[in-house]
Amino acid sequence: MKFKLEHTDSKSKARAGMIKTDHGDIQTPIFMPVGTAGSVKAVHQRELMYDVKAQIILGNTYHLYLRPGLDILEKAGGLHKFNGWSKPILTDSGGYQVFSLAENRKLTEEGAVFKSHIDGSKHLFSPERVMDIQRIIGADIIMAFDECPPYPCDFAYARKSMELTHRWLKRCIDRFDSTEGKYGYSQTLFPIVQGSVFPELRKQSAEFIASCEREGNAIGGLSVGEPVEEMYAMTDMVTDILPKDKPRYLMGVGTPANILEGIALGVDMFDCVMPTRNARNGMLFTSEGIINIRNEKWKDDFSPIDPHINSYVSSFYSKAYLRHLTIAKEILAAQIASIHNLSFYLWLVGQAREHIIAGDFAVWKNQMVEKVSRRL
Ligand code: GUN
């Protein structure tokens, strides 16, 4: 993997760049649709490629390991071959999912022991095991095994957890660097900054992560319930420390406004379930603001969902029709809303990139944050 920094905004820390992988190039800043179990829910690959124009998608080690399992993924020749997505894939390491989904989980120095949320079977995720699993899944970018502490948590817990994440990272690096990809293309490992909302710990963690000199770095442990001001303050501190010539990935973030602010703070990559999960509940993100499509006010609004978004469903289907499908619980409602929301997120980061290159990002960003946060 290679990263080329193309432009840096003069009035903010926003950057435009290009990540090169063996599965193609990614223009940054970028949003990565979440495909937890090997599928972006309700969106098939052709729509993801040509309507949404996704450049990279995300998968989850925890889910893919439990189902379909490593034997099937390896027999398929990796996740790209299995699900038909030929562009880059990033996999999260499972640390975060073990703590949010698994039952009876227990953390030790060795790793995390947990029971599957699917069948109750018992498993151990260690840093070494999680590297091996992500080698088999075959993502282009794989994440270090970390602990994401809950919010709020006290300083002592956050420090212990960060130190464990750092020790686990060393083990991840040792294992990753002593193994090879199984399918003939290269993979890269991103470490994750932790430290909860404590500036001292964030600084320490960012310095440690930077010293590992990997090809890209991630910021974890945010968007877990803390006030947005704290999320921005921690991100701001960390991007001052992480190397400028490598991509920065802010994990699990966020709303359209969070993404624009994150870009202004020097973040290059984002992922979040929000555009797809909220789509399935009738929440639409548009260039004019947020719509609850179940609301009666849309019942006879025959205007397109959002004509500014260059995706077929956004201008072909009306708000009134999508409202009808949603109320009638038609499967098509989830499909249209998911494709639209993802297209909007990809449009938004694409616009941000254009404005960074044009040199007017900061002004555009402030106007856009207001617009996309409005409830219509
Ligand atoms: N997704 C959102 N936040 C995190 C985090 O802190 N760690 C990992 N591994 N995944 C995340």
For every residue of 112-136, DSSP letters joined together read EEEE-TTT--EEEE-HHHHHHHHHH
Residue 103 banded pLDDT, cuts 50, 70, 90: confident
**Greatest alpha-carbon span in the chain:** 61
Ligand 1 center to 143 CA (angstroms): 9
Residue located nearest, by CA, to atom 8 of ligand 1: 96
Closest CA to 107 of 158, 154, 164: 164
Pick from 130, 192, 231 the residue to mutate for probing ligand 1's pocket: most ligand atoms within 8 Å of its CB: 192
Is 300 annotated among the ligand-binding residues?
A: no
Verify whether ligand 1 is closer than 6 Å to residue 92 (CB atom). Answer: yes
Residues in contact with 250: Cβ distance below 8 Å, sequence separation at least 6, in sequence order: 218, 219, 222, 235, 262, 267, 269, 270
- pLDDT above 90 (res 95): no
- Say whether 301 is catalytic: no
Q: Which residues of 266-287 are buried (b: 16+ CB within 10 A; e: fewer)?
A: bbbbbbbebbbebbbebbbbbb
Ligand 1 center to 331 CA (angstroms): 30
Ligand 1 center to 224 CA (angstroms): 9
Residue 100 banded pLDDT, cuts 50, 70, 90: confident
Residue 139 three-state SS: coil
Verify whether ligand 1 is closer than 6 Å to residue 61 (CB atom). Answer: no
- pLDDT above 90 (res 99): no
- Say whether 306 is catalytic: no
Verify whether ligand 1 is closer than 6 Å to residue 148 (CB atom). Answer: yes
| Interface confidence (ipTM) of the complex | 0.99
Ligand 1 center to 221 CA (angstroms): 6
Half-sphere exposure of 155 (CA within 13 A, CB side): 4
Is 221 annotated among the ligand-binding residues?
A: yes
Distances (CA, A) of 129 to 10, 60, 181, 242: 43, 14, 15, 27
Residue 101 banded pLDDT, cuts 50, 70, 90: confident
Q: Residue 27: in which H helix or E strand, if any?
A: strand 24-28
Verify whether ligand 1 is closer than 6 Å to residue 94 (CB atom). Answer: no
Reported as a single tens digit per residue, the pLDDT across 253-291 is 999 999 999 999 999 999 999 999 999 999 999 999 999
Is 94 annotated among the ligand-binding residues?
A: yes
Enter the pTM of the model. 0.98
Verify whether ligand 1 is closer than 6 Å to residue 191 (CB atom). Answer: no
**What domains does the chain contain, in order, with CATH numbers?**
2-272 (3.20.20.105)
The phi, psi pair for 15, rounded to 5°, reads -135, 150
In the 8-state DSSP scheme, what is residue 34? B
- pLDDT above 90 (res 92): yes
Cα dihedral across residues 298, 299, 301, 304: positive or negative: positive
- pLDDT above 90 (res 58): yes
Q: From the candidates 51, 140, 268, 271, which is the catalytic residue?
A: 271
Q: For residue 104, what pLDDT is reported? A: 86
Pairing of strands 89-92, 57-60: parallel
Verify whether ligand 1 is closer than 6 Å to residue 195 (CB atom). Answer: no
Verify whether ligand 1 is closer than 6 Å to residue 127 (CB atom). Answer: no
